[in-house]
Structure 1
Amino acid sequence: MTYLAANNRYEGMKYNRTGRSGLKLPAISLGLWHNFGGVDRLENGRAMVRRAFDLGITHFDLANNYGPPPGSAEETFGLILKQDLAAYRDELIVSTKAGYYMWQGPYGDWGSRKYLVSSLDQSLKRMKLDYVDIFYHHRPDPDTPLEETMMALDHVVRQGKALYVGLSNYSAEQTARASAILKELGTPCLIHQPSYSMLNRWIEDGLQDVLEREGIGSIVFSPLAGGVLTNRYLNGVPSDSRAAGPSVFLNADALTESKLNKVKQLDALARERGQSLAQMALVWVLRGGKVTSALIGASRPEQIDDNVEALNKPDFSEEELGRIEAILAEK
C-alpha cells in the first residue's frame, strides 16, 4: 500500500531555529542509532519512520557506523526513503556522520580529509541520496590537524554533498576552535550534537556558552540516559534490559542505588505533572531554549507517540525546577 503522510503532520510539532541559521528543526528528532540495522526487522523500522513523519518529525539522524553491522542503518533508511518518503524529500532533514572506525587500513577512521570525503560518498550510496542536509564530524581526532578536518567539511558543502555541517562530541574549547576555522572558510558550523540529560550535564560547563556565542544550535543525544530516565528501571534491572546485557553503553553496575533513588524521586515528580518520566526528561533538556532538538531512539512506533506527547505538557515552574535540582544534587 502506498504511504501518504498525514495531512495534519505539522500541527502538533514545535520547530526551533538552529542557532543563527535559517534552518528549523523539530523539537523531537528521531535517531537511527539502534533498531534500524541489518539484524533488525525492516517493517518495524518503516513503521517507526512513517509514524515519526506523521507526527511532524522531519529530522532523521544517522551515522556511517550505525547498525549493526556498520552501514546497515543507512541502507535501511535508504530503502524506507525509496519506498515511502521519496515524494517528501524536500520536507526532510537527513543527517549522517563520520569519525569512528568503518573499514580496514589507515583511511577508515578518525578525521582525515581522505576518510571524511570517502565516508560521505559511501553514505550517500547506501541511502541512495545526492546529498545529506547535515554532515557531522563524529568525534575529535587527536592526530589530524583540526584545520584539515574542517577543510574537509567545507569541501563537501562546496561539492553539494551536504547543505550544512556539524560537530559531535567536541569539547567547548575544541568547538570554539573548529567554529572559528569554519567561519573563516565560509561554511559556518550549524549544529553540535553532544550527550545531555538530567544525569549527564557536562555541556552546561562551558559548551553551551560557546554555542550561544558562536550562534551554533544543538541536538542532544541520550536525553533519557540510555533508558535510565524511563520507568524501565524503577524496580531494579529487568533481565531482558540493555543494562542486564553486554551493552557497552549501559550496564547494571552504572545503576547505583543512589542513582535509582534519584530516578524514583524524579518519576514521582513527573507523575505529579501528569506525564511519564521519559516525557519530563525530554521537556527538561529543552527547557530555556538552549537546546534546539532532543534526539530520541525507539524500538516501536508507540514510543515515538509517547515522546512527542511530552511537548503538550506545560513548561516547568520555578518550584519544579528547584525540586529537580535538589534531587539531582543528592549524594
Structure 2
Amino acid sequence: MINPIYSPLPERYDSGMKYRRCGKSGILLPEISLGLWHNFGDVDTFANSRAMVHYAFDRGITHFDLANNYGPSYGSAEETFGMIMKKSLMPYRDELFISTKAGHDMWPGPYGEWGSRKYLMASLDQSLKRMNLDYVDIFYSHRYDPNTPVEETLQALVDIVRQGKALYVGISKYPKDVAQDAYYYLEERDVHCLLYQGRYNLFNRAPEKEGILRQAKENGTGFIAFSPLAQGLLTDRYLHGIPDDSRMAKGKFLKKEVLTDRVLHKITALNEVATGRGQTLAEMSLSWLLKDDSVTSVIVGASSVTQLSDNLKALENTSFSAEEKEKIEMISMDFHL
C-alpha cells in the first residue's frame, strides 16, 4: 500500500505545546523535544519511527535531536530521519529545528571520534547527506576532548557556521571550566553558543551542584536536558521487577546492577509523590525539570506514539507546591546515579 502524502495537523501550534526562549537568541524551543538516540535505527521498524516523528510534529514538537552515531547501527537514525524528511517533512523544513553532534566513536581509526577539526568537519558533511539536508539548525561538539586543543574544536564550530552548514552551535557534557572558555572563545568570534546539552534528572543533579545551569544562563546560553528519565529508571517500569522487553533486560545502556534496594526505595518514594500529584512517575520527572526557567527544553526518547503521548502529559502540570518540592529534595538531593 502506498502511504498517503503527510499533511501535519493545522492546529499543531495550538495543541498545548509551550515554547521557551533559548538563552539570549531569537530561538524558541518546545518544552519537550524528541531525541532519536534509540528506536530510530535500521534495526527498528521504519513505519513506527515515522509515526513518532509525525505525531511529535503534529503536537508542536519542532526540535528533533540527533547525533552521527545514533542508531543502531551508527548513522542509521540520521538515515531514518533523512527518509522521513524526503518523504514527508521537507515542505516544513523552515518550521523545524534539527540538531546533530559529533564527538563519540563513529568510524575506525584515529580520526573517527573526539574533537579534531578533521573529524567534526567530515562528520557533519556525512550527517547532512544522511539527513537530506543542506544545513542543520545546531551542531554540537558532543563531548570535550582533553587531548585536542579546545581552540581547534571551537574554531571548527565557528567555521561550520561561517560555511553555512549550521545556523548555531552548542556544546555537550563539557566540564564547567572548559565550558566557560568555550563561551568566551565563540562569543569573541561572533558565534554565540546557543545551547549547553547536559544529562539532568532527579537522580543526576550535577548541573545544579556544579553550577552548569547558572553558568549557561549567565552567558546567555540555553540549557537542554537529556536522559530526563535516567534511562527509564524514573518510571514505574521497574517497581515490580525487570520486564523482559525493558532496556535493563537488554543490558546495554542500563545495567541490572543499577537497580539496588536503595534505588528501588527512592523510585518507590518518588512514585508516591507523583501519585499524590495525579501524575505518573515519568510525567512528574519531566514536569520537575520544567518547573522553572533554568531548563529550555527536555529531550525525551520514545518507542511508540503511545509512550510519546504519555510524556507530553507532563506539560499539563509543571507547578510544584513547597511541600512537594521538599519531599522530592529529601528523596533525591543526596543521591547521584
Q: Quick check: 1:10 aligned with 2:13?
A: yes
1:236 to 231, 238, 241: 241
State the match for 1:109 in structure 2. 113
Q: Secondary structure at the match of 1:275?
A: coil
**Matched residue type, 2:267:** V
State the match for 1:297 in structure 2. 301
Distance 2:314 2:332 in 1: 21
> Where do 5+ consecutive residues of structure 1 fail to align?
none
Q: Secondary structure at the match of 2:234?
A: coil
**Matched residue type, 2:258:** A
**Matched residue type, 1:53:** F
1:56-95 to structure 2, matched below 5 A, reads 56-95=60-99
1:129-148 to structure 2, matched below 5 A, reads 129-148=133-152
User: In the TM superposition, what is the alpha-carbon distance from 1:319 to its structure 2 partner?
Assistant: 1.1
1:133-282 to structure 2, matched below 5 A, reads 133-205=137-209, 206-247=211-252, 249-282=253-286
State the match for 1:100 in structure 2. 104
Deviations 1:214-248 (A, max 9, x none): 1110111100000001110111222332112231x
Q: Is the 8 Å Cα contact of residues 161 and 167 (structure 2) preserved in structure 1? A: yes
Distance 2:57 2:116 in 1: 35
Distance 1:182 1:244 in 2: 43
**Matched residue type, 1:328:** S
User: In the TM superposition, what is the alpha-carbon distance from 1:53 to its structure 2 partner?
Assistant: 0.4
**Matched residue type, 1:192:** Y
Q: Is the 8 Å Cα contact of residues 46 and 80 (structure 2) preserved in structure 1? A: yes
TM-score normalised by L of structure 2: 0.96
Q: 1:34 to 1:197 in 2, by over 3 A?
A: same
**Matched residue type, 2:12:** R
State the match for 1:44 in structure 2. 48
User: In the TM superposition, what is the alpha-carbon distance from 1:280 to its structure 2 partner?
Assistant: 0.4
Q: Secondary structure at the match of 1:288?
A: coil
* Structure 1 residue ranges (4+ consecutive) displaced by more than 6 angstroms after TM superposition: none
**Matched residue type, 2:31:** A
Deviations 1:126-167 (A, max 9, x none): 011000000000000011101110000000100000000000
Q: 1:329 to 1:147 in 2, by over 3 A?
A: closer
User: In the TM superposition, what is the alpha-carbon distance from 1:326 to its structure 2 partner?
Assistant: 1.3
Distance 2:249 2:311 in 1: 24
User: In the TM superposition, what is the alpha-carbon distance from 1:329 to its structure 2 partner?
Assistant: 4.7
**Matched residue type, 1:29:** S
User: In the TM superposition, what is the alpha-carbon distance from 1:330 to its structure 2 partner?
Assistant: 6.7
**Matched residue type, 2:315:** L
Q: Secondary structure at the match of 1:96?
A: strand
Q: Is the 8 Å Cα contact of residues 290 and 318 (structure 2) preserved in structure 1? A: no
